[in-house]
Amino acid sequence: MSPHERITVDADVTPGFTACYLRLAGDECAFIEAHTAHALPRLLEALARHGRSPNQVRWVVVTHAHLDHAAGAGALLAACPNATLLAHPRTAKNLIDPRRLIEGATAVYGADRFRALYGTIEPIPKERVRALGDGERFELGDATLTAWHTAGHAFHHFIVDDPAVETVYGGDTFGLVYPALQAHGRFAIPSTSPTGFHAEEAHKSLDKVLSLGERFVCPTHFGAYEDAPVIAAQLRRFIDRAEGWVEEASRTEQSPAQIEARLADAWRAAIAEEAPRFGAEDYRLLALDIELNAQGLAFVADARRAERRRDEPHG
């Protein structure tokens, strides 16, 4: 029996929506992604089910600071006394002092809704945090894993290459591949949620994942897939469409709200083109992502428009 194993833990209240990965390596283990504080019982149950204790968790790895990936990191570290958080340098800073994350999300959702979605986000002591540079390695048992910085979805994002189990943990770099949407063939959509969409960097990030040559790619949303080139090709089509929408919207005089509504319609039309057999339930599952994707692209379009205006000569 191999001393190395990767286990998908369904961390969300919506089945097959958000994963954390429990990585076993002999007597040591790690979690890749922490989801929210609400996921903690599921993560600890997965540990126990596989004969491990919280004391054996060496690393908690988060791909980026977005709250569906990192909000539960403080709670998980508190439960795993020997663990260290591994994160992108920008993510590490925001988890040591999460006030900006909390303030931003509270402004969007309100205090009650924020608590319902994410629970409590506790500051993580800086001595329990290790920031990983691009290409930096870390050990788990006798395995060596490598973090690679990948922008495009967020500038504070990295992926993790884990050759011992032939896996790349893609975070949101490799899109959203919900199991419930795979009945009619592979369907993957990029996440362009606020505020880091950058088409060129998104393509570079896909290139990086493919260049690693691993058998499996594991996006946080959700599970393990063996057809990375197929997924990447579809993501590229959406990314190219999104860049065109942003450029077009940035040259209009529409309000940000009007741009957002227009982009939501564009996403729905593009999804219908890529997945013509989708029905009402499929679109219901994608409703929040369509909304967030439109918000993210509208933000980029408005910023691009403002930059263009600043660069215009003034008489």
Please determine, for residue 293, whether its predicted confidence score (pLDDT) is greater than 70: yes
Of the candidate ranges 81-95, 98-112, 126-140, 186-200, the one whose mean pLDDT is the lowest: 98-112
- pLDDT tens digit sequence for 141-152: 999 999 999 999
What's the mean pLDDT in 233-255?
Answer: 95
158 — pLDDT class (breaks 50, 70, 90): very high
Mean pLDDT, range 28-50, rounded to an integer: 97
Instruction: Identify the weakest region by mean pLDDT among 53-57, 198-202, 298-302, 303-307.
Output: 303-307
Count of Cβ atoms closer than 10 Å to residue 248 Cβ: 14
Q: And the tokens for 314?
A: 């003034």
Mean pLDDT of 19-36: 97
Question: What pLDDT digit, counting tens, does each position of 125-142 carry?
Answer: 999 999 999 999 999 999
Say if CB 223 and CB 182 are below 8 A apart.
no
pLDDT of residue 313: 66
Q: Where are the domains of the chain?
A: 4-226, 233-310
- Across the chain, mean pLDDT equals 94
pLDDT of 2: 67
Q: Is the pLDDT of residue 124 over 90?
A: yes
* The pLDDT value given to residue 119: 81
Contact indicator for 259, 249 with CB cutoff of 8 Å? yes
- Tell me the two tokens of residue 151: 């922008």
Reduced 3-state DSSP string for the chain: CCCEEEEEEECCCCCCCCEEEEEEECCEEEEECCCCHHHHHHHHHHHHHCCCCHHHEEEEECCCCCHHHHCCHHHHHHHCCCCEEEECHHHHHHHHCCHHHHHHHHHHHCHHHHHHHHCCCCCCCHHHEEECCCCCEEEECCEEEEEEECCCCCCCCEEEEEHHHCEEEEECCCCECCHHHCCCCCCCECCCCCCCCCHHHHHHHHHHHHHCCCCEEEECCCCCECCHHHHHHHHHHHHHHHHHHHHHHHCCCCCHHHHHHHHHHHHHHHHHHHCCCCCHHHHHHHHHHHHHHHHHHHHHHHHHHHHHHHHCCCC
% of residues, the chain, pLDDT over 90: 83
Residue 212's identity, in one-letter code, is L
Residue with tokens 């009650």: 112
Q: What is the pTM of this model?
A: 0.94
Give the CATH superfamily of 4-226: Ribonuclease Z/Hydroxyacylglutathione hydrolase-like (3.60.15.10)
Give pLDDT, residue 1. Answer: 46
* pLDDT at position 315 over 60: no
> What gap in Å lies between CA 19 and CA 8, rounded to an integer?
6
Q: Which residue has the higher pLDDT, 111 or 292?
A: 292
pLDDT, tens digit, for every residue of 196-242?
899 999 999 999 999 999 999 999 999 999 999 999 999 999 999 99
